Amino acid sequence: TLPETSLPNYATNLKDKSSLVSSLYKVIQEPQSELLEPVCHQLFEFYRSGEEQLLRFTLQFLPELIWCYLAVSASRNVHSSGCIEALLLGVYNLEIVDKQGHSKVLSFTIPSLSKPSVYHEPSSIGSMALTESALSQHGLSKVVYSGPHPQREMLTAQNRFEVLTFLLLCYNAALTYMPSVSLQSLCQICSR
């Protein structure tokens, strides 16, 4: 209900409310909560707004939402995960298309081991560096493409891995903007 001009200011104030964020985590962690559905709906509206700060605000809850969805799915209590599933699918369906509604194709260049980086020196790798060096002299670089991804209407056992992997890719793309509580949630989901 806010006018477009006040969205950036609202988003900036929202991310600084740590008590609100911790309360939202508590609601998400309780799948039987009556507040879960309106919270998921509001988080989706934030994401759909297109405002970068509101998008990141929603993304910070993604690891916890994924964990709760998987935990509820494993218990076969599908009824209580409906709003979480809808939120996850909504974010996925928004992320697989660009602003004009065309499917996105993401590309990744795999770094060459023959060229130095902040992580390694080619000479320290040994004979594998020579093989990579020979390939790099021919101008070959490995580019991997991801997409186009199909839109999904529901999460099934067949598409669950693809959708959740793509959502974590979106989260990882914004990792530097995530608050510490979100990073802790990510570490917990990985260890679980």
Total-model pTM = 0.78
82 and 9 in one domain?
A: yes
Work out the number of other CB atoms within 10 angstroms of the CB of residue 37.
16
26 and 118 in one domain?
A: no
39 and 68 in one domain?
A: yes
142 and 52 in one domain?
A: no
Polymer length in residues for the chain: 192
Q: What's the domain count of the chain?
A: 2
54 and 73 in one domain?
A: yes
Work out the number of other CB atoms within 10 angstroms of the CB of residue 192.
8
pLDDT tens for 99-142 read 777 888 777 777 666 677 776 676 655 555 445 555 555 455 67
Report, as an integer, the average pLDDT of 45-53: 89
pLDDT at 81 over 80: no
Report, as an integer, the average pLDDT of 141-148: 74
168 and 76 in one domain?
A: yes
pLDDT at 42 over 70: yes
Share of the chain above pLDDT 90, in %: 40
40 and 90 in one domain?
A: yes
165 and 79 in one domain?
A: yes
Report, as an integer, the average pLDDT of 73-87: 79
Provide the Cα torsion 123, 126, 127, 129; round to 10°: -40
* Structural domain range at position 134: 106-146
66 and 42 in one domain?
A: yes
162 and 134 in one domain?
A: no
First to last CA, the chain: 39
Cβ-contact 91, 167 below 8 angstroms: yes
133 and 50 in one domain?
A: no
